[in-house]
Amino acid sequence: MDMQTSLLDRLFSTGLLIDTGVEGLYGRSGAFEDVIARFERLIDAYGGADGAEAMRFPPGMNRAHFETSGYMKSFPQLAGTVHSFCGGELDHMSLLQCMEVGGDWMKDQKPTDIVLTPAACYPLYPTIAKRGRLPAKGGLYDLQSYCFRHEPSNDPARQQLFRMREYVCMGTQDHVTEFRQTWMDRGLEMMAKVGLDVTMDVANDPFFGRAGRMLANNQRDQNLKFELLIPVTSAAKPTACMSFNYHQDAFGAKWGLNLENGDVAHTACVGFGLERIALALFARHGLDIALWPAEVRKVLGYQD
């Protein structure tokens, strides 16, 4: 039995994760959720004084905004759309008959105006663009959302529906790259405080196809993406639990995000994979939170 399956089985047997019968789609116990809530309070302790505007979007976004984002050009293999029954009574009867015989009842479902959110920041850009020009100092935003990526796996750290906490910074190149560096330093410090062994490495997004390989190489060559890697199911192949991304002016140009002086805004973001961080804590310190090291429990606010 491989380490991924072994950890997943242990998480199921202790009830920390709940099997739904679909790979990468899990329920969470109260104890698991509590670890995430406590880690988010640690995030707040580091980022709270920065004055970010908090927003919370649902796990679905406007399909027109999704199409404008260009996500399907780069990551069609990960996208999830929402379809619904839109027929009349006769169509409903046909649907039920189809289901009764085990037929493909999904073929007549129609796309809605909602697409599953692929990253917490995607609804933010059109929202800010609608406000008009950014102030000279730019903008800083605190986001958290369930996100969807279609990559079924028995690796518990690769879930199809998961939560992402993000800070997004908009402003000049110097402003947003300084923001990113600040959070890279903070990320290393935070993970050390909770007893996790980490490495920082340059990375790329999983762009699709032959053209995607060129985009990935460019992203690496320009150091546009770094990931904070933590062992979860494998020490040899640690899991990306935080990412630090500099988008240059790509999103600013796409969405018409301009600073007060008319310059196109540059953007950067830091993302926390909340389930992955919780899993890293369980993998490192054990599945019984009461037995975690006292210093880690103290940082997370547990009372001994």
Long-range contacts of residues 296-304, Cβ cutoff 8 Å, at least 24 apart: 296/193, 296/194, 296/195, 299/42, 299/193, 299/194, 300/35, 300/38, 300/39, 300/42, 300/194, 301/38, 301/41, 302/38
- pLDDT tens-digit map of 178-229: 999 999 999 999 999 999 999 999 888 788 887 888 888 888 888 889 999 9
**Pairing, β 199-202 against β 225-230:** antiparallel
Predicted confidence at residue 303, as pLDDT, reads: 84
Burial of 244 (0-12, 13-18, 19+ CB in 10 A): buried
Predicted confidence at residue 300, as pLDDT, reads: 98
Distances (CA, A) of 271 to 33, 113, 227: 18, 26, 9
Burial 247-282 (b: 16+ CB within 10 A, else e): bbeebbebbebbbeeebbbbbbbbbbbbbbbbbbbb
Predicted confidence at residue 5, as pLDDT, reads: 63
Which residues of the chain fall short of a pLDDT of 50?
Answer: none
Does residue 167 contact residue 16 with C-beta atoms inside 8 Å?
no
Domain 3-80+118-299: CATH architecture, name and number where available: 2-Layer Sandwich (3.30)
Predicted confidence at residue 216, as pLDDT, reads: 82
Q: Domain limits of the chain?
A: 3-80+118-299, 82-117
Q: Taking the CA atoms of 281, 287, 289 and 291 in sequence, report the sign of the dihedral they define.
A: negative
Helix, strand, or coil here: 1?
coil
Does residue 65 contact residue 114 with C-beta atoms inside 8 Å?
no
pTM for the model stands at 0.94
- Count CB-CB contacts under 10 A for residue 21: 5
Predicted confidence at residue 97, as pLDDT, reads: 95
Predicted confidence at residue 78, as pLDDT, reads: 96
> Number of C-alpha atoms within 13 angstroms, CB side, residue 269?
23
DSSP 263: P
